[in-house]
Chain A
Amino acid sequence: MLTLSKQAVNLYVDRNAQRWIVRDAYGNFWLLPLGENPWDRREPFLPTEETDLEPIPGHYKSIVGLPFDMT
């Protein structure tokens, strides 16, 4: 049986854009806007070759505004 393993959710910061970036369990990248409930208002994000994403530890989920049950 073929099984597809989900990736871990990863957090990044894009210092040039001054925004938090999330890669979800399916490999999609999202930009989090400023303000309340940023995950609900997330915007698709497509990294380019020029994008420099700096990893952020997992415990920053709350700080960047992600729901805690999201893994």
Chain B
Amino acid sequence: MSAEHVRLDEARTRKVPWRKWGPYLSERQWGTVREDYSEGGDAWNYFTHDQARSRAYRWGEDGIAGISDDHQRLCFALALWNGKDAILKERLFGLTNSESNHGEDVKEYYFYLDSTPTHSYMKYLYKYPQGEFPYADLVETSRGRSRTEFEYELIDTGAFAENRYWDVFVEYAKDSPEDMLIEITAYNRGPETAELHILPTLWFRNLWSWGEGQNRPSLTEVKAHGASVVRASEASLGPRYFACDGAAPLLFTENETNTSRIFGVPNRTPYVKDSINNYVIHGKVDAINPEKTGTKVAAHYRLSARPGEAATVRLRLCEAPPEVSVDLNGSTSAFFGAKFDEILNARRAEADEFYGEIIPKSLDADSANVMRQALAGMMWSKQFYLYDVDKWLEERGSDPFKSSRKSAPRNEHWHHMYNGDVISMPDKWEYPWYAAWDLAFHALALTLVDPDFGKSQLKLMLRERYMHPNGQIPAYEWNFGDVNPPVHAWATIFTYRLEKGMGGEGDREWLKSSFQKLLLNFTWWVNRKDRTGRNVFEGGFLGLDNIGVFDRNAPLPTGGYLEQADGTAWMALFCQNMLEIATELALEDPGYAEMALKFCEHFLWIASSMAHLGEDTGMWDEEDGFFYDVLRHPDGRAERLKVRSMVGLLPLCAATTLEGEMIARYPEFGDRLMWFLDSRPEIASTIHDPRKRGVNGRQLASILDETKLRRVLEKMLDENEFLSPYGLRSLSRYHADHPYVIHVGGQEYRVSYLPAESDTSMFGGNSNWRGPIWVPVNALIIRSLVHYYLYYGDDFQVECPTGSGQMMNLFEVAREISRRLNGLFLRGKDGDRPVFGGTHTFQDDPHWRDYLLFYEYFHGDNGAGLGASHQTGWTGLVARLLHLFATLTPETAQEEGKKAYRNPANPAQATAAQTVC
């Protein structure tokens, strides 16, 4: 058993707090909804990057390569100064939504290189230019660019010319749950000797200023030999010691707003949040507290390095006071001596050992590197997320229970919410807030290395502090009431089976509890999003931003309403997942058998509704062999909106094989289902008939029968339509030459194939579903293809790619799509990684080319990364895909069914089978 597996086991069984300290600091707290108290809800402009160095945050903290405890009382992060910039580099810089031509975008280069799930070892790289950071150039040039132009990136500014930059590596290693070793190594990549100010910074999140009865914590200098030591005192956390190797001066101030700079009102104290900045940059000696006490402190190292050489800083954050660590010579070298090296090297080796067990041996070195960095990104993207909506509303004068209240710009109906947990973020700079459907996908990747954390994340969204009393799962902070695709049940059954597969026993109580809450959520969907009660669903934008011809989250310009193929397909999948959960629970508790039958029948109703029995216009278009949204006009007319998009592929995803355990155990269940199907022959006639047995006697719940499946696959696997060299596009390439156009009220609405960035401002204009490749929906399709394969077997062959003459079974098709997706990140035959597009530095430079970025989505033709650059969140699914097809063969899949795919074995638990999902 690896040492990291022991730690995970200790955390699970003995509650050893191995996860207490981790990378829970956000990379951007400014510009968030939480910090926004503006009248109109203009979060980006209310609390800006420029203010962030001077203004205390209300709901969280941010920093570079930072950590905090799991309640974010005490924070640590890196600050740097190259001697040229006008401000300290304390946080990552980026453009706001309105400053950039494609929405908000971080303009820095940083990489999550490694992390174990307990954060016993972590490694991060930040690339800091030696010349003045081009803040103004980035803003001004980007503002001048149109939506049809590329974004202006930091590397385009020349900031890295002649390699005049620092590679700053930050490594963390835990000697115990409460003892964190930190090593910062800065390499001078430039041609000349250069100086760098390194300011490791420790501070308390400001709780004391907001009137919640919190005592002010303190940081004070402690006498020590050979090191600068700070004692951190906070009542609930207990004392901590921050030791800095050498005799670096300690700069103390308070984590409080500089009211003079922010509001124009004189400060009550000269020691404010930006005092360290003002001391280092402007030489303001009186900005620093000479009493050596405060709530924010930085050790000030001034280091220089010759070309190619490195400067190193060592630190330690721990429970032990200096006297405990004094060695025989009376110095504190015990903090930093040979023991420090020993611990750091041990944690590095243990991380290698851990991933040696996780990453399949059959993967080549490049694939293994991609998989490890994808998982590192998943680990680093954890963030302490605090948002007390009731308090937030009250503080902005919108207390929901006061008659004199002002209207709040958002989230008024979510005042039940109190969030204060470590949550997996989509991207800690661009999306430093949770998104419900993203999180469900995150769980699928997280469970590769940390099933317990993945399970806790899913449970969190269903808790009373998150889920609305009406059963809706919160979408995201910009509008908790938005509608995300209902993938939570899928992630739940997946995670349950993972645990059951690893340990032989699943957590049935957790599954039961989740099922009850998911029932509430299911009922919310049925009651709120099925307008006519005919099992046809709307849902607004459903996470796919600009995919429709109209903004699907706004009233239609035509009047009337949309019946959404994707919304209905998502609900069909939701039913299948609930059926699977109920079946699992019914195996030991007959009370759930009724629910299994209920969801089986509900699935059949929804699936058949897609063909819209008894009406002239259903979602299926027989001529095109594809599913479309249906526009219902106010006068009763209906028309299909013939946009060939991911919306029409999602019905394919509602496919799940059934092994028949339920019917075997409860024959009356089968009788009742047979009666239902026999008495409703029109239902089974329009979908796959679930009575038909497939390979090994399996049954299949699917919207698509074999004929429809073949027709949809023909388009999906056509390289002139959906199948790109790097996965499935979100919109068919057919629309490059054949844009979909509709005229309403004298205005033209058009959908064209856009392989790169969005050309509309719909949903902020910072993501695009009209052509690019999105990993999560690709993963869903891969899942369904494996299920179809389990049912149809080897005899079901399709041409892949369409027109190639090459025939494949559906397992091979799934593997082919996965291979193409993985190819986004892997070096091709030309040595290039498609994700980096035409950026030569990333492709060729040895100090760049093997550091991966997991973007939000990818160019539909050449695979270049687009959108958020650190969305390891759901793009981290590539780790799961690499693992899946490195360990699963079609033969074992056929033989063992859904139990064939095994997660990496945890030696601490019995190894057993785990299902496909």
Contacts and interface: CB of A to CB of B under 8 A. Distances in A.
State yes or no: do A and B come from one complex: yes
A41 interface: no
Nearest to B397: A8
B404 A19 contact: no
Given A10-B397, A15-B263, A57-B395, A63 B209 contact: yes
Contact of A59 (B210, B256, B268, B402): B210
B263 A56 contact: yes
Contacts of A58: 394-397
A54 B264 CA distance: 11
Contacts of B209: 59, 62-63
A51 interface: no
A58 B58 CA distance: 11
Nearest to A5: B403
A8 B259 contact: no
Interface of A is mostly: mixed
Interface string B203-217: 000001111000000
Interface in B220-268: 256-257, 259, 263-266, 268
Contacts of B399: 8
Given A5-B403, A18-B265, A19-B265, A62 B397 contact: no
A8 B405 contact: yes
Given A8-B405, A55-B39, A13 B397 contact: no
A57 B259 CA distance: 13
B390 to A, nearest CB: 12
B669 interface: no
B262 to A, nearest CB: 9
B605 interface: no
Nearest to B398: A8
Given A5-B403, A62-B210, A20 B265 contact: yes
Contacts of B418: none
Contacts of A68: 211
A18 B267 CA distance: 11
Contacts of A62: 208-211
Interface size class of B (residues with CB under 8 A): 20 to 34
B223 to A, nearest CB: 33
B478 interface: no
A10 B397 CA distance: 8
Nearest to B265: A18
Interface size class of A (residues with CB under 8 A): 20 to 34
B37 interface: yes
Contacts of A54: 263
A13 B404 contact: no
A13 B34 CA distance: 21
Contacts of A63: 209, 256-257, 259, 268
Given A7-B404, A8-B397, A13 B211 contact: no
B48 to A, nearest CB: 15
B265 to A, nearest CB: 5
A61 interface: yes
A4 to B, nearest CB: 11
B331 to A, nearest CB: 42
A18 B266 CA distance: 7
Interface of B is mostly: loop
Interface in A15-32: 15, 18-20
A19 B379 CA distance: 46
A8 B403 CA distance: 9
A8 to B, nearest CB: 5
Contacts of B257: 63
A26 to B, nearest CB: 12
Contacts of B208: 62
Contacts of B395: 57-59
A46 B39 CA distance: 23
Contacts of A7: 404
A65 to B, nearest CB: 8
A12 B545 CA distance: 38
A34 B335 CA distance: 45
A10 B396 CA distance: 9
A13 B394 contact: no
A67 B328 CA distance: 53
A69 to B, nearest CB: 9
A56 B266 CA distance: 15
Interface in B262-307: 263-266, 268
A57 B396 contact: yes
Contact of A8 (B265, B268, B402): B402
A59 B386 CA distance: 15
Interface in A30-71: 34, 54-59, 61-63, 68
A54 B263 CA distance: 9
Candidate in B210, B263, B395 with the most chain A CB atoms within 10 angstroms: B263
Candidate in B39, B257, B265, B395 with the most chain A CB atoms within 10 angstroms: B265
Contact of B264 (A5, A10, A15): A15
Contact of B263 (A6, A13, A34, A61): A13
Contacts of B268: 34, 63
B405 A13 contact: no
Contacts of B403: 5
A18 B39 CA distance: 22
Contacts of B58: 57, 59
A61 B208 CA distance: 12
A57 B263 contact: no
Contacts of B264: 13, 15, 18
A20 B267 CA distance: 12
Given A59-B211, A62-B211, A63-B257, A5 B265 contact: no
A57 B37 contact: yes
Contacts of B259: 63
Nearest to B406: A8
Contact of B404 (A8, A20, A57, A61): A8
Contacts of A56: 263
B265 A13 contact: yes
Candidate in A10, A54, A59 with the most chain B CB atoms within 10 angstroms: A59
A62 to B, nearest CB: 5
B47 to A, nearest CB: 10
A63 B269 CA distance: 11
A13 B404 CA distance: 21
A15 B211 CA distance: 24
Contacts of A59: 58, 209-211, 395
Interface in B367-422: 394-397, 399, 402-405
Contacts of B211: 59, 61-62, 68
Nearest to A35: B268
Contacts of A19: 265
A30 B396 CA distance: 19
A27 to B, nearest CB: 11
Candidate in A5, A15, A57 with the most chain B CB atoms within 10 angstroms: A57
A61 B394 CA distance: 13
Contacts of B265: 13, 18-20
A32 to B, nearest CB: 9
Contacts of B397: 8, 10, 58
A6 B404 contact: yes
Nearest to B37: A57
Closest 6 CB pairs of A and B: A58-B395, A57-B37, A68-B211, A15-B264, A59-B210, A13-B263
Interface of A: 5-8, 10, 13, 15, 18-20, 34, 54-59, 61-63, 68
21 contacts: A6-B404, A7-B404, A8-B402, A8-B404, A13-B263, A13-B264, A13-B265, A15-B264, A34-B268, A54-B263, A56-B263, A57-B37, A57-B396, A58-B395, A58-B396, A59-B209, A59-B211, A59-B395, A62-B208, A62-B210, A63-B268
Given A8-B405, A59-B211, 16 more contacts: A5-B403, A6-B404, A8-B399, A13-B263, A13-B265, A18-B264, A34-B268, A55-B37, A57-B37, A57-B58, A58-B396, A58-B397, A59-B58, A59-B209, A62-B209, A63-B268
